[in-house]
Structure 1
């Protein structure tokens, strides 16, 4: 009888779907709770954002694999800021920035809530991605901090992903532009007014 090989956790890949790094596959650490945005959802999202990424300043909170930020950089965003709590995921994002020879990617190893509490430089972003771990009630506090600490300007685009059954409190001055349901996930794009 043949012995079964022990099961090991395997790392995966994300694929960049368009731009200067089109088709590149980047390794992703196998981290509990990490769920990179699927290619299908990512294609929909970047169809929504098609004319808004070039030369934009990007904030990828809960960056995880960095998939959304890397897609923006491939599409000629001015810069991308990645915020991620998991050390293994952070190290992989940093390794992938080196692989792609990026000098406009900034990686912060901290919680999104802690990062958003401090905006000493008065920085604001053109596009913000909020895709927090599910069932942790992180989305509403992040939205509040984005507003309180002036991370957004008028017309900033904010993409949020959350589980369908939750009802996050989103700021009243965010206008819904697009929405899509993908299985149990709600995807919404807002513009700050």
Structure 2
């Protein structure tokens, strides 16, 4: 899993802007890497709840050796702080998918503030389940590849963890080496039993009221 990875080629549509300036109602701080202490703004919207510092610190301790040159997918990105943390710590590419246009605009504004080049991120606005089939990832030699790390953190009440993972696998955007990070307000074992694949739980914890799980799917 630590094999050398090619950096992505420039993508003409990697930075998608929206008109006007979205108004933030809160901020969360990047906690590690080159953008440490930089603030990431977010709006007040149903289901938008940035992962707290302690939980993010735990996650990035889990995946710290997998981030170098990684291709990352931030489903239901919200503030986008998980994706920005990954870029801050050495990821090559992050796809942000966010349903709320105003929040997607803030993600683009944050990327501009951090002076991120266009060839290391893409912001897509819309429903994650509809966007997944439209995604593609190419490395520097235009070879289609899978994401190395996927954040699956939808609004808890929608119960979308299994449909999202299943769709990523069916569209060959994830494989047996992909790390999936999931958050929920309840323990995830019953939810994961619905997966039509064998899987291995690599790490799991409960911090505050949130359960977090890191897993891989076996033999895709």
**TM-score in terms of structure 1 length:** 0.89
The 3 A distance-change label for structure 1 pair 57 and 120 is closer
Q: What residue in structure 2 maps to residue 107 of structure 1?
A: 123
Of 134, 138, 156, the match for 1:134: 156
* Structure of greater relative contact order (alpha carbons < 8 Å, 6+ residues apart): 2
Q: Which runs of 5+ in 2 are unaligned?
A: 1-22, 138-143
C-alpha contact 1:31 1:88 (8 A) present in aligned 2: no
Q: Which residue of 2 aligns with 1:54?
A: 68
Task: Pick the structure with more helix per residue.
Answer: 2
- Give structure 1 stretches of 5+ with no counterpart: 1-8
Structure number with greater Rg is 1
Cα 1:119/1:65, change in 2 over 3 Å: closer
User: Taking structure 2 as the reference length, what is the TM-score of the superposition?
Assistant: 0.78
Mapped partners of 2:72, 2:44: distance in 1: 24
CA distance in 1, matches of 2:74, 2:55: 16
Match runs of 1:151-166 below 5 Å: 151-164=173-186
Provide the secondary structure at the position in 2 that maps to 1:21: coil
Q: Aligned match of 2:36 in 22, 45, 52?
A: 22
Task: Tell me if the contact between 1:143 and 1:171 (Cα under 8 Å) persists in the aligned partners.
Answer: no
1:92 aligns with 2:106: yes
Moved over 3 A (4+): 118-123
Structure 1 pair 49–161 and aligned structure 2 pair: CA distance change class (3 A): same
SS in 2 for 1:80: strand
1:14-35: CA deviation from partner (whole Å, max 9, x where unpaired): 1111111111112222222210
Query: Which structure has more strand as a fraction of its residues?
Result: 1
